[in-house]
Amino acid sequence: MTRAVLVDTGPLYAAVDPDDQYHARAQEQLQALADARLSVVLAFPILLEAYTLILYRLGFRTAATWLEDVHSGCAWINPSAQDYREATALVGRFSDQSISLFDATLAILASRLNLPVWTYDHHFDVMQAPIWR
């Protein structure tokens, strides 16, 4: 099995925005991933969420450059219809939390693929998803 981590939107965005509070951390972790020869796996919903965030906050040029970088630097994966159904159920189990379907889908993928998630979002701890730290 390939050694890999699933990436969440937070680290993707933080790595691009020098004003983000996690920018230095994301840069250090990118280097740690490379040093450990861990592949970064990007789910399509996270790709869409991160691109939109970068586009609206940092502009088209930054978003286009970022898209080129992730095209060559990440493996992409498409969740199945069953993954989305399970994510919908997962959100319902945590009605006291603001867990997005993006995050729930990523947690379901992490469980199914037995891969940790690279994230800064505490909701993954709540969902008991494996976290890469």
CATH of 4-126, picked from 3.40.50.1010, 3.50.50.60, 3.90.76.10, 3.30.300.30, is 3.40.50.1010
pLDDT value at residue 133:
85
Model confidence, pTM: 0.93
Query: 108 CB contacts (<8 Å, ≥6 apart)?
Result: 79, 83, 86, 87, 90
Condensed to tens digits (0 to 9), the pLDDT of residues 60-69 reads 999 999 999 9
Condensed to tens digits (0 to 9), the pLDDT of residues 70-114 reads 988 899 999 999 999 999 999 999 999 999 999 999 999 999 999
